[in-house]
A and B are shown apart, each in its own frame.
Chain A
Amino acid sequence: MTKFTFPESIRSRPVYGTLEARKGAAHLLIADAHGAEAILDVATPEMMAKAHIIYIPKGEAFEGKLRALKPAQFYAGPSYEAAESRIQKAFEDAKMGLQVYLTGTEGLMGQAQHAAMQAGIPHTAIQTEHRGSVARRMQCVHCKGITEDVETDPFVCAHCGLNLFVRDHYSRRLAAYQGVCIDAEDPGNVPEAKGIYE
């Protein structure tokens, strides 16, 4: 399953769309894992001639297909952190008219969107499309540590070890959802972990 319809939620929860090719002086496409499929869907030869694709495969085998699109620049890296300086540089060098396409997991889109906004792009002008895993990037509200790719609710904070409940409350600045201790009143009383959308 690479396309998923998120249930209705509170206003702070980001909503994602479907990428469309737009006119622009240059195109920056940042994706992880199954986000590659959305790039394959939206890419046109005209776009690729002025495109820079930054891809984090996370074990998926799309790199060959993306390279075959012949983007002007292509980079694949093992993680967002590894790609981060490349992404920063791409925004620093960019001029007005740049179109930004983000696709894949929420964690990837959130972090790249934050970088794009820091660079001065209004967030409404940044296109996003969710593909692949519905795992979330979570911030523990207690120790402030970030746990990547959280798939279950509740989950254990990778930093302080508390049992955290997955909230829909989202911080655009941190590009993370909030996790709140679920057994503070009655330590050890933790419901069984389920998938976030089960």
Chain B
Amino acid sequence: MSGAEKIAVTVTDIVPLNALVTRFEFKRADGGLLPTFSGGAHTVVEMEDGAITRLNPYSLMSDPMDQTAYTISVRRDDEGRGGSMFMHQSVKVGDEMTISYPVNLFSLDLRAKKHLFLAGGIGITPFLAQIKQLERFNGNWELHYACRSEALGSYVDELTSHHPNETHIYYDDQNQAIDLVNLLDGQPLGTHVYVCGPKGMIEWVRKTADGEGWPREAVHYEEFLAPQPGKPFEVKLAVSNKVIQVGEQESLLEAMEREGVDAPYLCRGGACGQCETRVIDYTGNFIHRDHWLEDDEHASGEKIMPCVSRFEGKTLVLDR
């Protein structure tokens, strides 16, 4: 079986936070304790949406030491393929669901003298767990959180009331923006910066930090790429000896799973490298969307990350 180990849970609480974001709480279905995790970890939630099974990663936002329940926050994506819609519309308190053991691809570097957190929108969630983790031993941290508007500022009240000195909020609709160059300039030696948010924000932070001479090891980022819908395509799986169709609303990885092919994965968001698959032959164009492969690997036509990337063209043969 691919992916991290599974846990059967019950949905114990659903709290709408604002027009776009809803929080879900899970407890173990057998009443036992959940594993502890480290701040920044995510869980992969399985959604049985009619004939389709979707597995979407969400950052855990609860206290990493709290083994009684996990919480996640899901932002509704009206344009997406429906995973977040399913969570918002179909999931009810009392439902049984399956989630994965926590996997952390965005952990704190605890050697850091200071942790500088930069969040954009729903990118706030991993930091909520990291802040709880750091608060246990008085860690030195600071948060800069950009939200679209006051109405959409998830957890702003909680953060500003518990951590008034560490929290800085910026509202796009009030033309407030993080003054990044000034913020990076003058941070004490040993500071690590962490960014979670939209792609453009991550690129901006990485580029600016690099330009200011920050070591790459001190810059951490996480972007969850939800797989995007696209034109259907056909794939030949050489090892399994199958020809499968990838539908408009599913990822290549999901299509393989639907056909009973055991394909490896961990993050399902183009970040961990686990699903890397060799291309045996192709005629057409790849739509690479992952953060894992290097640009030259994308250009080579030799590899694809099936969790987020697609293909358009006549033939695609994979070593799977």
Contact = CB atoms under 8 A, between A and B. Distances in A.
Interface of A: 22-25, 91, 94-99, 119-122, 124-125
Contact of B191 (A23, A96, A124, A125): A96
A120 B185 contact: no
Contacts of B191: 96, 120
B233 interface: no
Contacts of A121: 189-190, 215
Interface stretch (B206-214, B234-242, B244-252): B206-214
A66 B47 CA distance: 66
B187 interface: yes
15 contacts: A23-B211, A23-B212, A95-B188, A97-B212, A119-B189, A120-B112, A120-B113, A120-B188, A120-B189, A120-B190, A120-B191, A121-B190, A122-B215, A125-B216, A125-B217
Nearest to A94: B189
A121 B218 CA distance: 8
A23 B190 contact: no
Given A22-B213, A23-B213, A124-B217, A97 B113 contact: no
B162 interface: no
Nearest to A98: B189
A124 B213 contact: no
Interface of B: 111-113, 184-191, 211-218
A24 B186 CA distance: 12
A20 to B, nearest CB: 13
A119 B215 CA distance: 14
A96 B214 CA distance: 6
Contacts of A119: 189-190
Nearest to A126: B215
Nearest to A26: B213
A119 B184 CA distance: 17
A96 B184 contact: yes
| Complex A-B, nearest 6 residue pairs according to Cβ-Cβ distance, in ascending order | A120-B190, A125-B215, A24-B213, A122-B217, A97-B213, A96-B187
Given A96-B190, A120-B111, A124-B215, 9 more contacts: A22-B213, A23-B211, A23-B212, A23-B213, A94-B189, A97-B184, A97-B185, A121-B189, A125-B218
A188 B211 CA distance: 59
B213 A99 contact: yes
Given A96-B212, A122-B218, A125-B217, A25 B185 contact: yes
B213 A25 contact: yes
Contacts of B186: 95-96
Contact of A96 (B111, B188, B211): B188
Which one of B112, B189, B190 has the highest number of Cβ atoms from chain A below 10 Å of its Cβ?
Answer: B189
Contacts of B185: 25, 95, 97
A99 B217 CA distance: 14
Nearest to A116: B189
Nearest to A93: B189
A120 B193 CA distance: 13
Contacts of A24: 212-213
Contacts of A124: 215, 217
A132 to B, nearest CB: 27
A121 B113 CA distance: 10
Nearest to B188: A95
Contact of A91 (B111, B187, B189, B217): B189
Nearest to A24: B213
Which one of A22, A91, A97, A125 has the highest number of Cβ atoms from chain B below 10 Å of its Cβ?
Answer: A97
A187 B191 CA distance: 52
Nearest to B211: A23
